Amino acid sequence: AQTVTQSQPEMSVQEAETVTLSCTYDTSESDYYLFWYKQPPSRQMILVIRQEAYKQQNATENRFSVNFQKAAKSFSLKISDSQLGDAAMYFCAYRNSGGSNYKLTFGKGTLLTVNP
Amino acid sequence: DTGVSQNPRHKITKRGQNVTFRCDPISEHNRLYWYRQTLGQGPEFLTYFQNEAQLEKSRLLSDRFSAERPKGSFSTLEIQRTEQGDSAMYLCASSIFRDRVDGYTFGSGTRLTVV
């Protein structure tokens, strides 16, 4: 079974600074997807960024980028120019691309605080 | 289309009562999922529907839990004889698989408190 570990229960960052959230995972599959989701206090989970394991290039979405290290099974999220609206719970998630490719496995989350 | 809708947003019930939650997915999405999220944890998979067929149930889903998706549209999740351990946020999500991409859209969840 796949597992996802987020070792930072809480992180804080000053507005306009950069912060990196860590995630490691365990799988025996070679093809899979990794995700970062944001869950603001309103509780609706929103997709931040997606990485396909077969792609070597790290995904970027505006101020959000990932550092995907497949051999190390590491998938960190970097938020640049942090904004107050970035404050939320962030979850790292894994999904197979083959069998059971519909099911997401989540980490426990990192609570990000953005200080003005 | 306004996204995935879940009702009610909050439910407080006494231990031993039955509760039912509803999820209305995005209309074109043929896949529907239920997840449970307890305090301090990430969401955990409960069950999955493709159209009206329930294709997988997690071991987390005891016999007191039942989910349906009649006609492949909305879905209901029923918990019978609720226990305090059932207190959690119940999240619904829907998706459609296109071009190797299966983008989930989550609802805002139903928060259940069993007293």
For residue A103, what is the nearest residue in chain B, using CA coordinates? B45
**Mean pLDDT score, B10-15:** 97
Which residues contact residue B61 at a Cβ distance below 8 angstroms, ignoring those fewer than 6 apart?
Answer: B46, B47, B67
Cβ distance B92 to B81 under 8 Å?
no
Nearest C-alpha of chain B: how many angstroms from A50?
10
Confidence of residue A1 (pLDDT cuts 50, 70, 90): confident
DSSP string, chain B: ----EEE-SEEEE-TT--EEEEEE--TT--EEEEEEE-TTS--EEEEEEETTEEEEE-TTS-TTEEEE-GGGS-EEEEESS--GGG-EEEEEEEE-EETTEE--EE---EEEEE-
> Could you tell me if B108 lies within 8 Å of chain A, comparing CB atoms?
yes
State pLDDT tens for residues A70-96.
999 999 999 999 999 999 999 999 998
Neighbour count for residue A89 (Cβ, 10 Å): 19
Short-list B12, B11, B52, B2, CA closest to B32: B52
The tokens of B1 are what?
């289309």
Q: Please indicate whether residue B98 or residue B82 has the higher confidence score (pLDDT).
A: B82
- pLDDT score of A75: 97
Question: Cβ contact (<8 Å) for A109 and B89?
Answer: no
Average pLDDT rounded to a whole number, residues B17-40? 94
Tokens of B16: 């031993």
List of residues 6+ apart from B62 with CB closer than 8 A: none
| Contact state of A52 with B100 under an 8 Å Cβ cutoff | yes
Q: Is A103 on the interface with B (CB under 8 A)?
A: yes
Write out chain B residues lying below 8 Å of A108, CB-based: 40-42
Mean pLDDT of chain B: 92
A36 in contact with B, Cβ within 8 Å = no
Which residue in A has a C-alpha nearest to residue B42's C-alpha? A108
Pairwise CB contact (< 8 Å): A47 & B109: no
* Pairwise pLDDT comparison (B49 vs A42), residue with the higher score: B49
* A-B C-beta contacts closer than 8 Å: 52
Q: Averaged over A18-25, what is the pLDDT? A: 98
pLDDT value at position B47? Answer: 96
Q: Which of B42, B89, B97 sits opposite A109 (nearest CB)?
A: B42
Instruction: Give chain A positions within 8 Å (CB) of B91.
Output: 45
Contact check, Cβ <8 Å, B45/A104: yes
Question: Based on the number of CB atoms within 10 Å of its own CB, is B27 exposed (0-12), middle (13-18) or buried (19 or more)?
Answer: exposed
Residue B98 confidence (pLDDT) above 90: no
